[in-house]
Structures are given as structure tokens and as C-alpha cells.
Amino acid sequence: MALLAVLPAGCGRDPNRPVVIASVSDVSSLDPHLLDVNHPTGSVIWSLFDSLVRRDADGVDLPRLATSWERRDDLTWRFHLRRGVKFQDGSSFTAEDVKFSVDRMGMSPFNTLTQLWPQTTLKEARVIDEYTVDLVTEKPSVTLLYWLEEAFIVPKAYYSTHDTAYVNTHPLGSGPYRLVEWIPGDHVTLMANPDYFNGAPALKDVLFNVVPDVSTRLNALATGDIDLALELTADSANRANTPHSHAIESVGLRKIHFGISQKGNQLALRDARVRQAMNYAIDVHTMIKTLMHGSTTALASVVNAPNADPTLPPYSYQPERARQLLAAAGYAQGFDLDINFSPMWGQDKDVSETVAGYLNAVGIRTHLHQDEWSDFRRKLSDQGFDGIFFAGWAALISPPVELVIFTCGQEDNASGYCDPQYDDLVQRAAAEYDDGKRRELINAAQRVVWDRAFWIFLWHGPVYAGISSRIDYELRPDDYVEIYLAKPKR
């Protein structure tokens, strides 16, 4: 004990230490065109680089490196670029950098590893003058601005003279922070860019730290060693309320559901009445109250607010009706159903077991099946499931992107639905620039998903974090951490 007493205590008591953000995993790459997950990779990339357009937490498009834009025809968009922006090596940002970056995203391996390129439907970038650029798409695209928010601009001179392995660890952007160091598996250190076009961010030194264990993140928050403990769970979030910190939560945008395989050998699932029955058999409200501690709301649509059709209610708990629907479909005696889950979206096991209980109660014989994530992921992309599978979908606000999950042959369509009428609605919505007409198409598609019960609808995946009393920051529901918007307290 005497020995311990003379040791210096942890760094938590140093008021000048960097702001520390603790997350489960490490960034996967610092190449902005290889962005694969919103956090932590996305959060760090958003700090180092700028895109033409910024997406705010409500999904609204705001100016960033572009100050304004207009659509010239169905396929051509003109962007007016911000003047006087400098990259972190002092070189000036111009239209040439935009063209170079767009061309780079369209090359292998960038166009294969991320879905950015195909989703933008971009064909080419044309430099009009130093501060004006036209982007041309293959087909009309209402989601262009959405995807451009993740299309980061790199300086042509630097990225064309260094190889991809080098720039992967030595990024150079125009963003609010610059890289100090990246120690894979441990931390990324950033420091404020004093020359940022929008003014240097309020927090000077920022550390993204890998702290895999949730109890460790909470303990470190309690002692004041970290400032933002991310990826907490429903049952642990409460522990973030300490004298130095408090819990913050957001309803979140990821739609938690059970996918219903149409390809597997459980043929009952191809009958819409059976799928409706499963939705009526489950008491989602009670599950939210108990398993999720009341921190979220029931899911009614595959599309997030504000675009969700308000006339669609969540399925209600009506076990008697579920039995009737099963009987009408010829399954009065029930059927065998596999319930697949994997530790990815939190509380997978608890949720799956509870759902199994509800389905058993209406006569469905359930079999729980747990997969390691990489096997689960393979089954998702191969449409390789039998039965139903616990999943989360699309933490974003962009109806045409959210609706693609049920379109024929689409990679994310893990259930294997294939309905030409639904596909037609989604494709027309993605190409319809008229707001009113697009809204109608989107509502019609949502209605199909609800009526025919393409999912077992659960809830919006809540986002939990703990924040220290040193900083002020408002959590985004899509997991990105825009640390340059955080402010020191007092």
C-alpha cells in the first residue's frame, strides 16, 4: 500500500490533457475513399477531411467546401467552390482537386471496397474554372448530395505523387484537425488545424482511444480519464451518471428488425399472412420497456423520420389475430422456425430469446441459432439464412437508400425479396426530382413493406454514450462523432 501511495495517479486529474473519446474498435484506414463505418473510422475521416457538402444530424445538406450548388439538368450539377481554403500542407484547394478526388473514387480498389462510387451514380467531374465544377451522373439521382457528404476531397498534388499504402497512414486533407499519430489498435491523436476555413475547432488536442471493454470505458469515465464513452448498452448506460459525467442517449436511426428469409427452406415465410402473424405475435412495447429500458420507440417503417409515412402505425400486440392468420395460411399447427443472431447490434441474444418466447406462444416452434459475425455477414450477403435473422439497417436519412434493401438482387437484400412492382416504385423515387411526386412514391413503397410485413419490425436502435463534464457535445443519431463541434465547458 505504501508503494501505491507514492505512485502518481492516472492522467485523469490533469486539466490540460487531451479530450479522449473511447470506442470499441480502431479506425480501419485513414484513406477517406476507403471509409467503411461511421464510427470510429468515419468520425476521424470527417475530422481530417472536408467534403463538398456537409450532412447535419437531421440529414439536411449544408455547404462545406462548396458554398452553393444548382442542378442544371437531370444529370448535371454545378458546384461553386469556397475560395481561400488551404490543405494542411499550405496548398490551395481548387476545382482540380475535386476532379482528382472524384476520379480516384471511381478507380479500383476504391470503387470495390466501398459503396460510395456506385451509390453516387457519378460519371465524371468537369472543371469549369478554378472554383466551379460540374458533376455529371449516369442517371437522375436524388441521393447525389447525400453521398457527396461522404465523398471527401484530397489534394491532387499530394495524393497523385504518393502510393496508396503511404497515404493510408499519412493522410492530408483540409479538415478541422490534422493527424499527429495513429498507433493501430491503440489510438489516433489529432490536433486542431489553426488555419481551418471555418476557424480552428474549440478542442485543441483530441485522442480517439480503443477501449474494447464496456466496463472499462465506464470506469474511465467515472475517474475522469476519458470524456466520451461511446457504444454503451441499454443496461450499462445508467452507470455513466457519475459526479464527473452523465449519460446521453439518442433514439438513433438504425432500424432494428428481424429479416425474414425468402430463400431458405422454411417455406411458410413466403406467405405474407405468416409474416404478419409474427409481427402481431410480438409485444414490442413491453420489450422496449424491459429490455431497452424504455429508451427508444417502436418501428413502423423501413424509412426514418421525417420521411416515414405517418399513417403507418407500429404493429400492435394481438396474439389471437396472429393465431388466426397462421390458421388462414394453413399453419394452425405452427411450423419450425430458425432464429439467427450474432453479436453485432447489441442484446442480440436477449432479444432473440424473448422473440422466440412470443412466437412459441402462438404455436411456432423456434430454434435459436447463434453465428460468429463473419459467418453471419457471409449469410447476409449470400441470402444464406433459413428462418429469420436479427439485424439493423441504415443509420441514415435518405429514403431511396433505405428502401433498396428489398429491391431485387441488391447486395443488402439479405431476405431475397424480388417484386418488380416494389422495385419500380423505389427506382422511380430515386430519379424523381419533384418533391411531392417523390413523397408519394416513397409512401407507396413503405406501404408495401408494411402491408406485406417484409420484416418483423422492432425498434429504432438507440445510441448510448457517456460524456464528461469537461465538454459539451450533442450526440448524432447516426454514430458519427463530429468532435470539431464539441466545446469545452466552464
Partner 1 sequence: MMISFVIGKLFRAATVLLGVSFLTFIIGHSSGDPVLLMVRGDATPQQKEDLRHSLGLDRPVLEQYATYVERAVHGDLGISYRQRVPVSRLISLRLPYSLELAGAAFSAALILGFALGVIAALNRGRLIDHLITALSISSQVVPAFWLGLVLVLLFAVYWQVLPVFGSGGLQYLLLPAITLALPTLGRIARLARGGMLDVLGSDYIRTARAKGLSERSVLLHHAAKNALLPLMTQAGLELGDMVGSAFLVETVFAWPGIGRMVVNAVLQRDFLVVQGCVLVIAAGFVLINLTVDLLYARVDPRVRAR
Residues that bind partner 1 (CB under 8 A): 4-5, 7-12, 22, 25-26, 28-29, 31, 34, 36, 108-109, 111-115, 118-119, 164-165, 168-169, 183-186, 209-213, 215-216, 219-220, 222-223, 225, 372-375, 377-378, 381, 410-412
Nearest to 275 by CA among 286, 259, 287, 288: 259
The answer to whether the CB of 208 falls within 8 A of the CB of 23 is: yes
Residue 329 burial by Cβ neighbours in a 10 Å radius (0-12, 13-18, 19+): middle
The nearest distance, CB 222 to partner 1, in angstroms, is: 6
Q: How far is the CB of 278 from partner 1 (least distance, A)?
A: 28
The minimum distance between CB 48 and partner 1, in angstroms, equals 16
| Closer CB to partner 1, 53 or 226, in the complex | 226
Of the pair 5, 73, the CB lying nearest partner 1 is at 5
Residue with smaller CB distance to partner 1, 353 or 372: 372
Distance, in Å, from the CA atom of 309 to the CA atom of 291, rounded to the nearest integer, reads 27
Task: Pick between residue 56 and residue 186 the one whose CB is nearest to partner 1.
Answer: 186
Of 325 and 394, CB closest to partner 1: 394
The minimum distance between CB 112 and partner 1, in angstroms, equals 4
The smaller minimum CB distance to partner 1, of residues 206 and 456, is found at: 206
Q: How far is the CB of 91 from partner 1 (least distance, A)?
A: 25
Residue with Cβ nearer partner 1 (213 or 320): 213
* Residue 326 CB, nearest approach to partner 1 (Å): 35
